[in-house]
Amino acid sequence: MANKEQGTSMIAQNRRARHDYEIEEQYEAGIALSGTEVKSLREGRASLAQSFVSIDRR
């Protein structure tokens, strides 16, 4: 999913979810971060261990 030509790259992925579940669909989304989360991402230490997603299909 990394696309260096457009200046975008994958920052993190949840490998555990891919192991534990069958992924039927993928969505690309942006997130808003502030404070310590930004510093961790810049240092390459992103963690999705306690993350979740909610999709609003309006």
Indicate the domain borders of the chain: 4-42
Phi, psi of 55 (to 5 degrees): -110, 125
pLDDT computed for residue 25 by the predictor:
87
Instruction: Determine the Cα–Cα distance for residues 33 and 3; give it in Å rounded to an integer.
Output: 22
> Amino acid letter at 50?
Q
Q: pLDDT digit string (tens) for 5-57?
A: 566 677 777 788 888 989 898 877 777 777 777 788 788 787 777 777 777 78
pLDDT computed for residue 17 by the predictor:
82
pLDDT computed for residue 41 by the predictor:
79
Instruction: Determine the Cα–Cα distance for residues 39 and 52; give it in Å rounded to an integer.
Output: 20
Instruction: Determine the Cα–Cα distance for residues 15 and 46; give it in Å rounded to an integer.
Output: 13
pLDDT computed for residue 7 by the predictor:
65
Longest dimension (CA), the chain: 36
Residue with tokens 């260096």: 4
Global model pTM greater than 0.85: no
pLDDT computed for residue 6 by the predictor:
65
